[in-house]
Chains A and B, each alone.
Chain A
Amino acid sequence: MALEKYTGKSAGTTLDVGSNIMPGWDEITIEENGRPLPATKDVTDAEDTAYSLVDDPLGGDGAPNCVLTVKGFISVTDHQDTNGWLALAKGTAYAVVVTVKALGDTWTQADMVFKDLGLGAAVAEVMPFNAKFTHSTLAGAWSTDA
């Protein structure tokens, strides 16, 4: 294909948390982690002349998971905004949708737990945040093709 490089600025990316379109974001990072590789089990016995190793027949001991990190800047009037970052409850699961472009990829995870707002209290300049959402057993899903 001819490559059209994507920029967040021109592509109209949106971040929906619950029913709200979140403001003030600067960078969104979607980390999808698969199940870990199977551990290698040592099944060497007394008659073996070299180590005998097998991949864990039960597969990888763990689950896929995902972490969504959103960096941005908070507004001084967010406390008046029922849809803003300060209105999110820690430990609560929200449906999260990242629409990369109006006609582009959409990443969805129905139960992302809001873990941390990561607010950096600046004295003289802007106030940045570094919000984190997690899901411990699922990796989320990208939209299917048109």
Chain B
Amino acid sequence: MSQTEFTGRLQEVIHGTYTVESLNKVALSETDGPDAAQLDITRYDHTVYTKLTDPLGSNGTDKTSLTCTCWASTASYADSKNSKIPLNTPASTTYDMAKGTTNANTLTHSTLQLTKRVTKIPFKDFATHELTFEANALGTWDSPA
């Protein structure tokens, strides 16, 4: 196919009943659990170390972190959005790379929760909300059409 570059202009994040407003930047981290550890099973009569990959596999879980940087609106009080999303409330969350675009990539996660909200109010520049959603599991990208 011909490459369609991603611009971020139409991306959308919906968390439960809240649509994250005035998105400026989205950072998504999907991290696999740790590799299986190498167990040292060297015996006294060995002349070199003997290693065994942990037969139980990886001891850890996958993680997802979605960080949204958003402009704060002068009218956000009436709009009731980014400052009102509750902390520690897992909700189904979707990240759409290009809202309204056919076959746009969409990530769905059923249990992301807001764990951190940082609001910066500078004297003369634009105020921002930085929202961090996290979960101990991976989400799912939509299947190819």
Cβ < 8 Å to B, chain A residues 80-127: 98, 100-101, 103-107
CB<8 Å pairs between A and B, sample of 12:
A6-B72, A13-B121, A35-B88, A40-B61, A50-B56, A51-B56, A51-B57, A53-B61, A100-B72, A104-B75, A105-B77, A145-B77
Contact call A35/B75, Cβ cutoff below 8 A: no
Question: What is the number of contacts between chain A and chain B, taking CB atoms within 8 Å?
Answer: 137
Question: Which 9 residue pairs are nearest across A and B when measured between Cβ atoms?
Answer: A34-B87, A145-B80, A30-B119, A34-B115, A28-B121, A9-B124, A34-B88, A142-B83, A4-B74
Residues 57-95 of B contacting A (Cβ, < 8 Å): 57-61, 71-80, 83-84, 87-88
Within 8 A of B (CB), among A1-40: 1, 3-9, 11, 13, 25-38, 40
- CB contacts (< 8 Å) of B117 on chain A: these are 30-32
Q: Is the CB of B118 within 8 A of A8?
A: no
Closest A residue to B79 by CB, please name it: A1
Chain A residues near B (Cβ < 8 Å)? 1, 3-9, 11, 13, 25-38, 40, 42, 44, 48-51, 53, 55, 60, 64, 98, 100-101, 103-107, 139, 142-143, 145-146
| A6, A26, A32, A42 — most chain B CB neighbours (10 Å) | A6
The answer, among A9, A32, A143, for a CB contact under 8 Å with B77, is A143
Partner of B87, one of A32, A143, A146: A32
